[in-house]
Amino acid sequence: MIPFANTYARLPERFYARLNPTPVARPRLIKLNIALAEQLGLDPDDLTADVLAGNHVPEGAEPMALAYAGHQFGNFVPRLGDGRANLLGEVGGRDIQLKGAGRTPFSRGGDGRAALGPVLREYLIAEAMHAFGIPTTRALAAVATGETVVRETGLPGAIVTRVAASHIRVGTFQYFAARQDTDGVRTLADYAMARHYPGVTGYRAFLEAVIARQAALIARWLLVGFIHGVMNTDNCSIAGETIDYGPCAFMDAYDPATVFSSIDQQGRYAYGNQARIAAWNLARLAETLLPLLDDDDNKAVEIAQQCLAGFAKTFEAAYFGGLRRKIGLSSVRDGDDALTQDLLKAMAQNQADFTLTFRGLGEAETRDLFTDPTAYDAWEARWRQRLAFEVETPEARRAAMRAVNPAFIPRNHLVEAALNAAIERDDFAPFEELLAVVTQPFDDQSGFARYAAPPTASERVHQTFCGT
């Protein structure tokens, strides 16, 4: 028996729509995250294909689709909501949600289903992000539905079971603010504070706490070369987790302008824009909280601006601190930030691989990653001069660097190959092997060198797709 609770169901009825998942034809379990199930206190034997596909609603579950709004590529949509997701309830304080579980009142004409490719992508990337130590939703299971979903062509259908701190988004607050429902905003803020920020008192402190978590999160994305791809306000979690793995990807060669998402035509959510966009999203959250910050409109705006000003400070501390650790610096000296930025500049100018450059700093073969190896040589000489001021032994420094610089990321060409094998041949062996490698990203794994290598010119992936 699954020990479900559902505190969100205690909120007013206008916060969600109650409905069961739509049953599917022939559910088949593809992957079960046994370690996560046990961490949640679940018996894996209870997690059958029928449960994970929504054909059987477990006792105690209270299925629902959540209401929210959002800015999508800067354009406000007042009613989005869970168009294809169904929140079963909470286990161990974590939401259990079926994504791809059928139509809801928020489906906006869609079929409410998910295709196999995006489900496997979400599973892979979410679990890799967790292995990197980055706050994220998790994947508990992937199930094939035995049905076809139609996008540009017919594709095998699937459902991913997502585990999250909660599914409250900036867009959830916007949903009520757009309706001038201040009581709804207050109720949601009180709930979010109690659930995610139990030590926080007051709406200003709540806003500051959300800003701090988001700033630290985005810094950690950048430090592993991650590009979310769709940083809409409805994809911005109040809990500070990475959520909604659609056209996400990891950079190969370092370039701040890198965009993979096929729907991001203007580069709004490019790698180098992600901190700015996160701050923009948080400003939208602050707007919804203005009535709670102060009865005087001008004073409320002033408080919000003061809170938002803290984003840059928190982000820069997390980002530059992370970069220093990536190049083996445990102390702080004048010029350190310039040193890290000069490395990134040289990498961009020389098409150097982001992951391998940091992983291999100080090793002879690293210079070969640069189109002009002398650019690396010049930087390395400065770096070694700086290291002379560090007190750690070379062995300790190397171990510390390897603990923050992954050897393996979910390289886009390998992800695509694994998904295509599953879609076209029902062959999940490439998915399983890639998952095993990227969930041990900091370990040297003999026999898996091809998973660390950047793509050849013919293997390079230029676009990723949302899959909705």
**Catalytic residue positions, numbered:** 234
Which SS3 state, helix, strand or coil, does residue 119 take?
helix
Calpha distance 317→312 (Å, rounded)? 8
The angle that helices 297-326 and 274-293 make with each other, rounded to 10 degrees, is 150
Which SS3 state, helix, strand or coil, does residue 131 take?
helix
Four-CA torsion 360, 364, 366, 368, nearest 10 degrees: -160
Q: Please say whether the beta carbons of 115 and 93 come within 8 A.
A: no
Token duo for residue 358: 């940091």
Which SS3 state, helix, strand or coil, does residue 334 take?
coil
Q: Which residues contact 338 (CB under 8 A, 6 or more apart)?
A: none
Q: How many CB atoms lie within 10 A of CB 75?
A: 8
Q: How crowded is the C-beta side of 417, counted as CA atoms within 13 Å? A: 17
Token duo for residue 398: 């190397």
Q: Please say whether the beta carbons of 346 and 375 come within 8 A.
A: yes
The angle that helices 297-326 and 394-402 make with each other, rounded to 10 degrees, is 130
- Angle in degrees, CA 169, 251, 454, rounded to 5: 145
Q: Please say whether the beta carbons of 312 and 200 come within 8 A.
A: no
Scored b (16 or more CB within 10 A) or e, 364-375 reads eebbebbeeeeb
Which SS3 state, helix, strand or coil, does residue 229 take?
coil
**What is the C-alpha end-to-end distance of the chain, expressed in Å?**
32
Q: Please say whether the beta carbons of 70 and 174 come within 8 A.
A: yes
